[in-house]
Amino acid sequence: MANHYAFTALVDAVAPAKGDSRTLLVERYPYVVATANESQSLAADNGGLEINHLIYNGWLFARDDTDATTAHDGTTCLVSSDGVRFKLEDIAKPTSVLDILNPPPGSPTVGDAYLIDTAPTGAWASNAKYLTVYTARGWVFIAPLIGMQVFVEDVERYYHYSVAGSWTAGIDDGSGLAADSVYPNALLYPTGIVPVENQTTNTPPSIPAAGTAYVIGSSPTGDWAAKADYLAVSNGTSWEYHAPSDGMAVYDKALNNYYKYEGAAWAVFISGGKCINYWVHNVLHTDGTNTLVTAQSGSGGADWNAEPTNVRGDVVHTESIALQNSANSLIIHASMEGFTGMLGLALFVDTEVAPRSWHTLTESVISLLHIHDVVEIGDTSSHNYKFRAWSGSMDTPVYWRLTITILEMGTA
């Protein structure tokens, strides 16, 4: 067993052993260099003694006599004046990685960092879930610890190492947030309702300031293709998309009103509940008794409860209305009293094929049908609101009365 060089260099009542003292100071202690370039003016071998470690910028560099080619980079490799390579022994945990991979990349660059997936191969085998950094002396591995966080550049997302022992997308699973700890002024949209520029833009504009949002129009193109009705929000460099779902709400800045997604469409919220205009009609037959409604050929079969088409049934009333304000909406209620085996009533706007509302009844006695809907158009042009009645049987259908009430709701 060899003694520490201090015990042979410094012996009580004996003159210091200069050779052992030099060995102690040169070979057994790391040499501190003030700058990376200082190492290049330092002789690592002198008088038969070898410097084995350097300390630079708080990091330990170890001598590597097997390497005679790696260039001096001042970060992972320091080269002395006599060509000795010193390699970084320690490595800082990276705050970001390029990607999550199983096989190592073919041509890494010094400083490249990765998060190793669950089935690594090659030089990464046996290091599943580790962080790894490529250095001048090869791959250095950092074991994951619970709570570690790293940004994955390829997907632009943070991952954290969970208590379950896996890398999970997101900063954490939310359990670290105490109740009532997030205040609205920390949110991009403090009210929870996204203000959108409009709901009609189909071609994505140049990326605007972060937070600018649109409800994509009905015929999108370019990057917005196949995303009709989606909410598109700019993050300042690209668009982020949110598929619409029932209950989602936005504020349309162009129409000055709130809209919600419901029943596969964006519909206006009633503005303030103020009635701007109203129309009431009682529609009777010319003889004051009844009106014949043409039965639909073959409609007594399986299609009776199917959604009516724009040509199904007779138009029993048309009301032409122009809104006073494009942000206003119409509340429409219609009641029909009639007699037939099968009777239906539907509301269409202009030449639309799909009805806004419809209702059917199958009764052998007097029937009373109701349709009720909130209709939003988004402009002040005049539109035709058509009420069509039809029968699903070959009996001759009749009706005594059609009562229609229409309210324009809004602010002006």
SS3 of 326-369: the string is: CCCEEEEEEEEEEECCEEEEEEEECCCCCCCEEEEEECCCEEEE
pLDDT tens for residues 26-59? 888 899 999 988 999 999 998 889 999 999 888 8
Q: Do 114 and 105 form a contact (C-beta atoms < 8 A)?
A: yes
- pLDDT for 258 equals 83
- pLDDT for 270 equals 56
Q: What is the DSSP string of 74-139?
A: SSSEEE-TT--EEEE---PPPSEES-EESSPPSS--TT-EEEE-SS--GGGTT-TT-EEEEETTEE
- pLDDT for 277 equals 87
242 CB neighbour count, 10 Å cutoff: 14
**Tokens representing residue 213 in the block:** 């949002």
Which residues make Cβ contacts (< 8 Å) with residue 221, sequence separation at least 6? 202, 203, 204
Domain annotation for the chain: domains and CATH numbers? 5-88 (no CATH), 96-169 (no CATH), 188-268 (no CATH), 275-409 (2.60.120.1340)
Model-level pTM? 0.40
Task: Look up tokens 């005679």; give the residue.
Answer: 68
pLDDT tens for residues 265-280? 888 775 556 788 888 8
Identify the three-state secondary structure at position 399: strand
Ranges of residues in the chain with a pLDDT under 70 are: 1-2, 172-179, 270-273, 284-304, 339-341, 363-367, 392-398, 411-412
